[in-house]
Amino acid sequence: MLENLTDRLGSALRNLRGMGRISEENIAESLQEVRKALLGADVQFRVARDFIERVKEKSLGQDVIKSVTPGQQIVKIIHDELAALLGEGTTQFTDKKPLRVLMLGLQGSGKTTFTAKLAKHLAKKGYRPAVIACDVYRPAAIDQLETLARQVGVDFYGERDSKDVPAIGRRGWEWAKAQGCDAILFDTAGRLQIDSPLIDEVKRLRDAVLPDEVLLVGDAALGQEAVNVAKTFHEAVPLTGIVLTKIDGDTRGGAALSMKAVTHVPIKFLGTGEKVEDLEVFHPDRLASRILGMGDVVSLVEKAQETIDEDEALRMADKMQRADFNFEDFLTQMRAMRKMGSLGSIMKMIPGMGKMQVGEKEEKRLKHSEALIQSMTPKERRNPNILNGSRRARIARGAGLEIKELNALIKQFAQMKNMMRMMKGAKGKKMMKQMQKKGGLPGGGDFPGGLPGGLGL
Amino acid sequence: MRSFFAKFKEGLKKTTPTFFKAFSAIGGIFGSRVLDAAALDELEEALYGADFGVETTDDILSEIRKAFKTNKQLRGLDAARIGAQVLKDVLAEAEGRLDTFTHKPEIIVLIGVNGSGKTTTTAKLAKLYRDAGHRPLVGACDTFRAAANEQIRTWCERLAIPLVASQHGADAAAVAYDAFEAARKREADVLLLDTAGRLHNKENLMRELSKIRRVLQKHDERAPHHAWLVVDGSIGSNSIEQARVFHREFGLTGLVVTKLDGTSRGGALVGIFRELKLPIYFVGLGEQPDDLQPFRVDHYADALFGLDNQKEQA
Ligand SMILES: Nc1nc2c(ncn2[C@@H]2O[C@H](COP(=O)(O)OP(=O)(O)O)[C@@H](O)[C@H]2O)c(=O)[nH]1
Ligand SMILES: Nc1nc2c(ncn2[C@@H]2O[C@H](COP(=O)(O)OP(=O)(O)O)[C@@H](O)[C@H]2O)c(=O)[nH]1
Ligand SMILES: [Mg+2]
Ligand SMILES: [Mg+2]
């Protein structure tokens, strides 16, 4: 992952400081950085270039605000512009009834899974959905949709002995209507946008079932070709919306901007996992932050708010400030953190921390630390100074771990407290910066099985 | 068997993808014309458009600029040759080959993110090895996705390939183990294990892979002998991150790049190779059983720069 855009812009923007106004010359270097960030996020070359032009027009002549750094100001302009572009149009899904929806996309993009997800979503909204299997090519594609339909509890229509896709679609529609269904979703085979016979087929299907919505289902991690894919599909069968799947991966998702920029149709949904409930409505803000590599701060904050008692967090932050932090607090923090998800997934959401390697090893260490602390008496937790040799032996035995692991934990704990003490000073700020840059903690990135300040949100 | 070359060109005939036009422009229209700044810009765009990423794009551009400095008469075709050469140098040793086996059975595990083409590639590989005179057996270790079993079963029935599968929701490692036992009993030469798609940032799913390995190693401590990451060629820079994490967590031995019959040029594979030095064994060029070809650097580089036509005309 690239570093936080604000950090990257830091040096490029130094020349802006003290200038009264953003001008063509003083912004050139930073725009170059932004361009790199966009390309690194897989935004298509031309789309990136046009976007930079837009940002330039917006920023030229603006006064450099005194209260924020020029970097922050420019990042804000870029971020807002990006969010505006991504959020253009009605991102809310139609509430028309009866409703027919046609899925379209490349192979393996997630059409069948999304069809089931949308059926579930619409059922919750009071529709009676049916799904129609119009993929007659991929082995077991019909079985897949049928299984998912059963899982979601919606009606299913498919024909195993016909290859006439428009006819299947038409009969599916009639059948579903007869069942009293008022949301009819047509799952189609994956196809390349350049495959004329198959594009022709989907056109005929469209003419047979006259969908109200035609959704392009696209993988969020698509590369530069996202532009050609979306454009060509849109020309062949005019789209009404875009769905981005597999956003639960760690892609920056620049393809979304590419697809959006060439079709101008709204992004409607995000696929956030393999399960049928893993569907989210679209938030332009969050995707903008993600594309720019600024971390999904909004999601992190929301997640934290859901799981952490605010008073508790404040108390913790306060304790840390005073470097008065014991094993008891450490344990509380660790548990709260665990509730939020894996360490790795949390780190990825923190701006600038995405590069930090948090894998199974760290998770395991965290578990060991937890076991060790649990094996301490409350008195020992509050007062680590009393941990003599015999106490240590008992604790290690209780946790089923070696004494050297406990020693390491105690040592790291002491270092951590030390660090907190330092963070209070001016030196601390500098250190945090360094830490973000290197993607690890100072001193070779030794990770003390818990992150100070991780919850000081 | 049609060559990768022919197949690639056939794929190209389906369309005139915009950036490819630019590539051909460099190699073709501009072929005999002298380069200018506009042409260089166009080249830069074309290189990015192939998902080469910043590093490789810069490498190629700087070589061409260097040549441009000393020779103002540089023609488009020369630039294309330089570009192809840079690519060939970067990808030297990137060709993976597995024609003969040293274990019985030789175990190949196919892993990757969701929808990348693992199941289809498993079926294609089984056919390819069978056609080459080996005895393949397939293990259906995707017990998670809806109708995954039915998909691989349909493939294996269609191609008459022996298959070991279990129920939906069964333990994937247990299926791997059963497949291994069956492969030994039936004296299969090569065991192909298809696995469930998993995003590399899901640690619990990554753990399942380690379990498959552990179970296989009960019989043969070097198993699996090959762990190939199946990468969708239309994915951008994230496939580098995918490869990085799968390699770190599981240990890869190579790659298969799929869906190169589309307009995507799979340039991210160059980034993967630069960083991880993992050879590319095969490329997927369609949905039919024969649409799998060994990866050849020269073909790939020449096709990308539109030099294949040139050769033919010469
Ligand atoms: N992680 C994740 N996987 C997804 C998502 N949507 C679909 N998938 C998976 O991607 C693969 C391809 O999906 P499928 O619906 O069969 O794609 P189709 O070929 O376009 O119909 C399957 O393994 C799905 O489980 C998503 O939002 N997140
Ligand atoms: N055009 C094209 N499609 C492919 C290729 N390989 C696989 N596919 C398609 O991609 C989709 C997902 O493939 P599958 O093997 O099920 O992926 P898996 O989820 O990784 O097992 C299916 O529709 C396949 O037919 C290829 O090389 N070219
Ligand atoms: Mg499907
Ligand atoms: Mg599969």
What ipTM was estimated for this complex? 0.90
Query: Mean of the pLDDT values across residues A187-202?
Result: 96
The pairing of strands A279-281 and B280-284 is: unpaired
- Do residues A186 and A254 both lie within one domain? yes
Is residue B167 pLDDT above 50, yes or no? Answer: yes
Query: Mean of the pLDDT values across residues B64-77?
Result: 86
Query: Mean of the pLDDT values across residues A400-404?
Result: 90
- Do residues A262 and A120 both lie within one domain? yes
The residue type of B118 is: K
Q: What confidence tens digit (pLDDT) does each residue in A229-273 have?
A: 999 999 999 999 999 999 999 999 999 999 999 999 999 999 999
Cβ <8 Å between B17 and A246 = no
Confidence of residue B265 (pLDDT cuts 50, 70, 90): confident
Instruction: Please state the φ and ψ torsions of residue A21, each to the nearest 5 degrees.
Output: -145, 145
Inter-axis angle of helices A254-263 and A45-59, nearest 10? 80
Q: How far lies A230's CA from each of A217, A242, A245, B268, in Å?
A: 10, 9, 14, 20
- Do residues B176 and B253 both lie within one domain? yes
Kindly state if the Cβ of A105 falls inside 6 Å of ligand 1: yes
Beta bridge pairs of residue A48: none
Any domain includes A444: no
Cβ <8 Å between A360 and B54 = no
CA distance B305 to B39: 14
Least confident of A20-34, A78-92, A269-283, B64-78: A20-34
- Do residues B30 and B85 both lie within one domain? yes
Query: Mean of the pLDDT values across residues A338-366?
Result: 58
The domain that holds A56 is classified in CATH as: 1.20.120.140
Cβ <8 Å between B151 and A138 = yes
Any domain includes A177: yes
Q: If phi over 0 gives left and psi between -120 and 50 gives alpha, with beta otherwise, what is residue A356? A: beta
Is residue A66 pLDDT above 70, yes or no? Answer: no
Any domain includes B38: yes
E strand residue ranges, A344-421:
none
Q: What confidence tens digit (pLDDT) does each residue in A263-300 have?
A: 999 999 999 999 999 999 998 988 988 888 765 444 45
Least confident of A135-144, A243-252, A347-356: A347-356
Print burial letters for B253-281: b (CB count within 10 Å at least 16), e (below 16).
bbbbbbbbbbbbbbbbbbbbbbebebbbb
Ion ligand 4 residue ranges (Cβ < 5 Å): B 118-119, 142
Percent of chain A at pLDDT > 70 equals 72
Confidence of residue B180 (pLDDT cuts 50, 70, 90): very high
Cβ <8 Å between B200 and A148 = no
The best mutation among B4, B287, B291 to test binding of ligand 2, ranked by most ligand atoms within 8 Å of the C-beta, falls on B287
Q: A344 or B169: whose pLDDT is higher?
A: B169
Q: What confidence tens digit (pLDDT) does each residue in B74-104 have?
A: 887 888 889 999 999 999 999 999 999 999 9
Residues of B in Cβ contact (< 8 Å) with A223:
51, 234-237, 264, 267-268
The residue type of A52 is: I
Any domain includes A450: no
- Do residues B83 and B153 both lie within one domain? no
- Do residues B233 and B157 both lie within one domain? yes
Least confident of A80-89, A386-395, B155-164, B303-312: B303-312
- Using a 10 angstrom Cβ sphere, with 0-12 exposed, 13-18 middle and 19 or more buried, the burial of residue A91 is middle
Confidence of residue A448 (pLDDT cuts 50, 70, 90): very low
- The answer to whether A110 touches A271, Cβ cutoff 8 Å, is yes
Q: What confidence tens digit (pLDDT) does each residue in A209-231 have?
A: 999 999 999 999 999 999 999 99
Q: B153 or A59: whose pLDDT is higher?
A: B153
Is residue A191 pLDDT above 70, yes or no? Answer: yes
* DSSP3 helix / strand / coil % (chain B, rounded to 5): 50, 15, 35
Any domain includes B140: yes
Is residue B252 pLDDT above 50, yes or no? Answer: yes
Judged by DSSP in three states, B179 sits in helix
Q: What is the pLDDT of residue B18?
A: 34
Any domain includes A407: yes
Query: Mean of the pLDDT values across residues B293-312?
Result: 79
- Do residues A82 and A225 both lie within one domain? no
Cα B25 to averaged position of ligand 3 atoms, centre (Å): 37
Q: Say yes or no: B201 contacts chain A, CB-CB below 8 A.
A: yes
Q: What is the pLDDT of residue A306?
A: 55
Any domain includes B191: yes
Q: A11 or B150: whose pLDDT is higher?
A: B150
How big is chain B by its Cα radius of gyration, in Å?
Answer: 21
CA distance A254 to B9: 29
- Do residues A188 and A336 both lie within one domain? no
- Do residues B61 and B80 both lie within one domain? yes
Any domain includes A390: yes
Cβ <8 Å between B236 and A223 = yes
Confidence of residue B211 (pLDDT cuts 50, 70, 90): very high
The domain that holds A216 is classified in CATH as: 3.40.50.300
Query: Mean of the pLDDT values across residues B186-214?
Result: 95
- Do residues B120 and B187 both lie within one domain? yes
Q: Which of A86, A117, A136 is the last residue of a domain?
A: A86
**Of A149, A186, A184, A150, nearest in space to A168 by CA:** A186
Is residue B286 pLDDT above 90, yes or no? Answer: yes
Q: A424 or A172: whose pLDDT is higher?
A: A172
Q: How far lies B67's CA from each of B70, B81, B86, B302, in Å?
A: 5, 11, 13, 19
Domain containing A407 equals 300-438
- Do residues B265 and B309 both lie within one domain? no
Cβ <8 Å between A274 and B18 = no
Beta bridge pairs of residue A185: A101, A131
Q: Say yes or no: B121 contacts chain A, CB-CB below 8 A.
A: no
Any domain includes B99: no
Any domain includes A24: yes
- Do residues A141 and A10 both lie within one domain? no
Q: Mention every residue, 6+ apart, whose C-beta is less than 8 A from residue B140.
A: B148, B149, B152, B153, B163, B164, B165, B166, B175, B179, B194
- Do residues B288 and B208 both lie within one domain? yes
Domain containing B201 equals 106-295
- Do residues B111 and B210 both lie within one domain? yes
- Do residues B122 and B53 both lie within one domain? no
Q: What is the pLDDT of residue B214?
A: 95
The ligand placed nearest to the CA atom of residue B231 is 2
Number of domains in chain A: 3
Q: What is the pLDDT of residue B154?
A: 97
The residue type of A105 is: G
Confidence of residue A425 (pLDDT cuts 50, 70, 90): low
Is residue B202 pLDDT above 60, yes or no? Answer: yes
Q: What is the pLDDT of residue A443?
A: 29
Query: Mean of the pLDDT values across residues B65-73?
Result: 88
Any domain includes B44: yes
- Do residues A134 and A113 both lie within one domain? yes
CB proximity under 8 Å: B 285-314 to A: 287
Percent of chain B at pLDDT > 90 equals 68
- Count of A–B CB contacts within 8 Å? 157
Q: Which of A244, A260, A284 is the last residue of a domain?
A: A284
Number of domains in chain B: 2
Q: What is the pLDDT of residue B23?
A: 44
Q: What is the pLDDT of residue B46?
A: 83
The per-residue pLDDT of chain A, averaged, comes to 81
Query: Mean of the pLDDT values across residues A55-60?
Result: 87
Confidence of residue A33 (pLDDT cuts 50, 70, 90): confident
Any domain includes A349: yes
**Of B314, B255, B312, B306, nearest in space to B77 by CA:** B306
Kindly state if the Cβ of A109 falls inside 6 Å of ligand 1: yes
The domain that holds A390 is classified in CATH as: 1.10.260.30
The domain that holds B247 is classified in CATH as: 3.40.50.300
The ligand placed nearest to the CA atom of residue B117 is 2
- Do residues A59 and A143 both lie within one domain? no
- Do residues B177 and B281 both lie within one domain? yes
- Do residues A202 and A109 both lie within one domain? yes
Q: What is the pLDDT of residue A357?
A: 53
Least confident of A166-180, A237-251, B35-49: B35-49
- Do residues A428 and A324 both lie within one domain? yes
Q: B117 or A339: whose pLDDT is higher?
A: B117
- Do residues B110 and B88 both lie within one domain? no
Query: Mean of the pLDDT values across residues A143-159?
Result: 98
The domain that holds B24 is classified in CATH as: 1.20.120.140
- Do residues A138 and A37 both lie within one domain? no
- Do residues A111 and A253 both lie within one domain? yes
- Do residues A269 and A314 both lie within one domain? no
Any domain includes B258: yes
Any domain includes B100: no
Q: What is the pLDDT of residue A32?
A: 85
Q: What is the pLDDT of residue A355?
A: 47
Long-range Cβ contact pairs of A419-424 (< 8 A, separation 24 or more): A419/A452, A420/A320, A420/A321, A420/A323, A420/A325, A420/A452, A421/A323, A423/A452, A423/A453, A424/A321, A424/A323
Q: What is the pLDDT of residue B189?
A: 98
Least confident of A365-369, B80-84, B186-190, B217-221: A365-369
Q: Which of A86, A112, A134 is the last residue of a domain?
A: A86
Any domain includes B31: yes
Residue among B14, B117, B155 minimizing CB distance to A195: B14
Is residue A442 pLDDT above 50, yes or no? Answer: no
CB proximity under 8 Å: A 388-427 to B: none
